[in-house]
Amino acid sequence: MQHRHGHTLTAFDQDLGELRGLIVDMGAFAEAAIEEAMRCLVERDTAAAVELIQADEQLDELEADAERRVIQLIALRAPMADDLREVVASLKIAGVVERIGDYAKNIARRVRRLEGDIEPLSLLPEMAKMASAMVHDVLQAFVERDPEAARRVCARDDALDDFYDSIFRTLLTFMMENPLNIGPSTTLLFVAKNLERIGDHATNIAEMVYYAATGERLAEPQQKGGDG
Amino acid sequence: MMPLVEPLNCEAPPSGTAKIDIRGLDFFYGKTQALKAVDLAMPAHAVTAIIGPSGCGKSTLLRAINRIYDLYPNQRATGQIVIDGKNVLSSSYSLSDLRRCVGMVFQKPTPFATTIRKNVAFALSYYDRLTKAELADRVEDALRQAALWDEVKDKLETSALALSGGQQQRLCIARTLAVQPGIILLDEPTSALDPISTAKIEELIHELKRRFTIVIVTHNMQQAARVSQRTAFFHLGDLVEVGDTAQIFTNPQVQRTQDYITGRYG
């Protein structure tokens, strides 16, 4: 259902708008963190990686702010129907975005462990782009209360899982070719796994956005791939 | 698709038998139509909340159910209101039978200017031939059911007007319960009360629904959400949507309902 007009109480619209803005800020932060972590990894920029790890605290603070606002909104505005669903979804999405930030942080932690050149590294930025685009698009769907856009993000998770599977096989082959590849390959495997998990979390957000917008649960997509 | 939210407090299944079955109800004040072809079934032993903006027909619906409008020559209802299998709008249905089975509590407490005991006993002496002892029992029963007994048992012979607003409202509920109706209509029963008194009345409603079928008209949507199992939303004389209360407040199916309950109306 679309809204023909705002709330009679405009301060309520303002509160909801600020909460939505905060969630979007968190998403942008997480998205940038994924990209920066990958840049650090590719360029072996350990100094920047350390900064990125420390910056994750800011995302935790944004999450705490979102939680505080949600509790206040429920207490003071008593939201109903789609407003209630959106406010609850915001709280859950904030938690998930914070987890996505943690995965970016995990990737940054791997930077100093990665020694020597390893060819499959060139595959990872592409995978990271897919994952961060899912995060970007699902938050866009949230802002626009667009259930169909959320559904499309869900559908993209399969491609990310396939990407992960192919990287997994590539790295396995690498490790079998030369035992010296095992260390860096394992590091890359962790990174790929983190990116794959980010996709799963974006999918979870998409389900929340879909429910907030429609009041219906999005049918669970078939579980496939992505383990290893 | 699975509903995400299950009704929280449905002791009586909403799908249970309808105590009040309204079919094709039209209501007119002179030439003005206040209710338009309303079909609404209200389940037994459950609370049905009627919500909607002023002038939507909420109170008119209660007026139709207990036929208060009979007193006014320019007001008429057509269609059917079936209670326990009988159309109470039919002229052959006696008004005193209806009064007996449908009790009503109004927005402002309306105690009679007499003692607490006489307030409750008043209607009893009208309907039943009871001995003094039986009468005393029925008064006590009604006051207990209205959760007022402990507060007034030592002052039954004092004036009802000396009670607080919340106590007066519970006294009015006791007076209604005394004649043992099957249905209780509540028209904004707490709008004149403080939050504590309101909570007591709401708790009372929760208790009473085990034995009675309750219809409550309220402007306070939180109250509708708290006390009812079914909610019906009216707008400009139309029944726009009716459903389980949890569904109406989390996932209404009609745009007008959503606009109203989220505060986007108008």
Dump pLDDT digits (tens) for B138-171. 999 999 999 999 999 999 999 999 999 999 999 9
Between the CA atoms of A190, A191, A193 and A196, what dihedral angle is there, to the nearest 10 degrees? 180
Question: How far, rounded to the nearest angstrom, does the alpha carbon of residue A221 sit from its chain's CA centroid?
Answer: 18
pLDDT at A34: 97
Domain annotation covers residue A151? yes
E strand or H helix at B27, and its extent? strand B18-29
User: Is pLDDT at A5 greater than 90 in this prediction?
Assistant: no
Domain annotation covers residue A37? yes
pLDDT at A21: 95
| Contact state of B250 with A85 under an 8 Å Cβ cutoff | yes
CATH topology assigned to domain B18-261: Rossmann fold (3.40.50)
- Give the E-state strand segments of A59-169 in sequence order: none
Domains of chain B, by residue range, sit at 18-261
For B202-229, give one letter per residue: b (16+ CB within 10 A) or e.
Answer: bebbeebbeebbbbbbbebbebbbbbbb
Contacts of A212 in chain B (CB under 8 A): none
Residue B168 main-chain phi, psi, to 5 deg: -60, -40
Q: What are A64-112's pLDDT values in tens digits? A: 999 999 999 999 989 999 999 999 999 999 999 999 999 999 999 999 9
Q: Which of A109, A125, A128, A115 is nearest to A50 (CA)?
A: A109
pLDDT at A223: 52
Contact B245/B47 with Cβ under 8 angstroms? no
Q: Which of B259, B153, B151, B134 is nearest to B204 (CA)?
A: B151
A3: pLDDT confidence band, cut at 50, 70 and 90? Answer: low
- Predicted ipTM of the assembly: 0.72
CA B220/CA B117 separation, integer angstroms: 32
Helix, strand, coil distribution of chain B in percent, nearest 5: 40, 25, 35
| Residue A215 falls in which region: left (phi positive, over 0), alpha (psi -120 to 50) or beta | left
Mean pLDDT rounded to a whole number for chain A: 92
| Contact state of A215 with B265 under an 8 Å Cβ cutoff | no
Q: Which of A5, A8, A84 sits opposite B250 (nearest CB)?
A: A84
The SS3 of residue B23 is strand
The number of domains in chain A is: 1
E strand or H helix at A176, and its extent? helix A147-177
Domain of A62 in residue numbering reads as: 10-214
User: How close is the nearest chain A Cα to the Cα of B222, in Å?
Assistant: 8
Contacts of B251 in chain A (CB under 8 A): 81, 85, 215-216
Contacts of B249 in chain A (CB under 8 A): 80-81, 84
Match 């059917």 to its residue by tokens.
B80
pLDDT at A120: 81
User: How close is the nearest chain B Cα to the Cα of A3, in Å?
Assistant: 8
Domain annotation covers residue A220? no
Residues in chain B: 266
E strand or H helix at B123, and its extent? helix B116-127
Q: Is the pTM of this model over 0.90?
A: no
- Report the 3 state secondary structure along chain B: CCCCCCCCCCCCCCCCCEEEEEEEEEEEECCEEEEEEEEEEEECCCEEEEECCCCCCHHHHHHHHCCHHHHCCCEEEEEEEEECCEECCCCCCCHHHHHHHEEEECCCCCCCCCEHHHHHHHHHHHHCCCCHHHHHHHHHHHHHHCCCHHHHCCCCCCEHHHCCHHHHHHHHHHHHHHCCCCEEEEECCCCCCCHHHHHHHHHHHHHHCCCCEEEEECCCHHHHHHHCCEEEEEECCEEEEEEEHHHHHHCCCCHHHHHHHCCCCC
E strand or H helix at A183, and its extent? helix A182-214
- Give the B-side interface with A, CB within 8 Å: 1-2, 4, 221-222, 225, 249-252, 255, 257-259, 261-266
pLDDT at A30: 97
pLDDT at A54: 96
User: How close is the nearest chain A Cα to the Cα of B256, in Å?
Assistant: 10
pLDDT at A1: 64
| Contact state of B261 with A81 under an 8 Å Cβ cutoff | yes
What average pLDDT does range A152-175 have in this prediction? 95
pLDDT at B6: 37
CATH, residue A44: 1.20.58.220
Q: Which of B5, B2, B47 is nearest to B228 (CA)?
A: B47
User: How close is the nearest chain B Cα to the Cα of A216, in Å?
Assistant: 7
User: Is pLDDT at A12 greater than 50 in this prediction?
Assistant: yes
Percentage with pLDDT > 70 across chain A: 94
Q: Best mutation site among B5, B241, B245, B258 for testing chain A: the one with the most A CBs within 10 Å?
A: B258
CA B67/CA B102 separation, integer angstroms: 10
Ranges under pLDDT 50 in chain B: 1-15
Residue that wins the pLDDT comparison between A31 and B124: A31
In Å, what is the CA distance from A107 to each residue of A42, A192, B37?
Answer: 11, 9, 64
CA A148/CA A125 separation, integer angstroms: 27
